[in-house]
Amino acid sequence: MKVPNKEKLIPSIIIQTIKIYPVTLFLFVLVVLFASLYPEKFLTPLNLSTILRQFVTLMLFALGPSIVVVTGSLDLSYVGIWMLGGILVWVLMPTLGMFSILVIPLLGLATGFIVGVIQTKAKIPSFILTLSVLVIYCGLTGMISGGISRSVRGYEFITVRLIPYIPTAFLWTIPIIIAAVFIMKYTKIGIYLYAIGSNEEGARLAGINVDKFKILAFTISGLFTGIGSMIYFQHQGGSVPVVLNLNTMVWPLVAIVLGGTPLTGGSGGPHRTILGALTFTVLCRGLTLSFLDPTMIQLITGLLLIASIIASSRGSKGVTIL
């Protein structure tokens, strides 16, 4: 039996990984660049902990919607679910006590199901529909809160520090990521969602109930967003803002597309979003260390989103589902 040459095997694995996940090369370049420019700041435990915190923020919002993007649709309701769910916890706390936080995943589940039904039955473009839901939820948050950010105490155990420099929210995020990846790569649901994104009419002719699985995709997205928002709610100190931050809405979308999930659907998914979120987080953190003007960072974010959309749409032609 011929033993593989390790000297040739390792470079081959690296090249193959870059071909399948091109963003890994970008990530490597960013790490080397910022570690060289800021050797005393970038690779410090404190900065790496900050990167993990920002990574958690992106993943908790981007994970669910990345499942919907696989089908060729968009789900922008994630920030609205987090904001409205958080203020509902404040409203229900005197009545339900500690159980009031469960309203956030329930809101996400209900929102995803309702959006899925409306989108499939009324044929409203998912971008317009979910953006409208986001605006409505943000408006309701402002009305219920009276325009003042409200805080809720009692959930500190969710984010109490267990490991030095490792945000506990990151530990909560790991099983959610595993569940999302498992659904998309190892279940019939994932197979059907990829098929719908690749060729919706072909999937319908193959006997797949397209409307049913599209509704399921939005429902799963809403549930993951709700669970993630519940964690992020305490990650932010038990409060939510009452005014929409555009970055909070755009950055998860950048992470999804940057990771290699094309907006046209059919490939990519949560496992690629992990790489996209990590890469984007490293980029933002490096730019922050450079004391670059925040408006310039927004400009770079917008350009990166456009470049990622172009690259992913070109790369989606003829790719396999990986």
Cβ within 8 Å of residue 193, ≥6 positions away: 67, 70, 71, 184, 213, 217
Tokens of 127: 């971008």
In 3D space, the residue among 29, 49, 61, 19 whose CA is nearest the CA of residue 273 turns out to be 61
Which amino acid, one-letter code, is at 83? M
Residue ranges of alpha helices (H) inside 151-243 are: 168-186, 188-198, 200-205, 210-235
Which amino acid, one-letter code, is at 242? V
Within a domain: 166:
yes
Within a domain: 32:
no
Within a domain: 137:
yes
Within a domain: 268:
no
- 266-319 pLDDT, tens digit per residue, is 888 999 999 999 999 999 888 888 877 777 877 887 787 787 777 666 555 444
Q: Is the pLDDT of residue 6 over 60?
A: no
Within a domain: 264:
no
Distance CA 5, CA 66 (A): 38
- 200-228 pLDDT, tens digit per residue, is 999 999 999 999 999 999 999 999 999 99
Give the range of the structural domain holding residue 115, as residue numbers without chain letter: 48-245
Within a domain: 299:
no
The pLDDT of residue 193: 95
**pTM of the prediction?**
0.88
Q: What is the mean pLDDT of residues 98-104?
A: 93
Distance CA 260, CA 273 (A): 7
Distance CA 239, CA 23 (A): 34
What total of structural domains would you count in the chain?
Answer: 1
Within a domain: 5:
no
Cβ within 8 Å of residue 182, ≥6 positions away: none
Distance CA 190, CA 320 (A): 14
Distance CA 296, CA 301 (A): 9
The pLDDT of residue 86: 92
Within a domain: 106:
yes
Residue with tokens 């105490």: 153
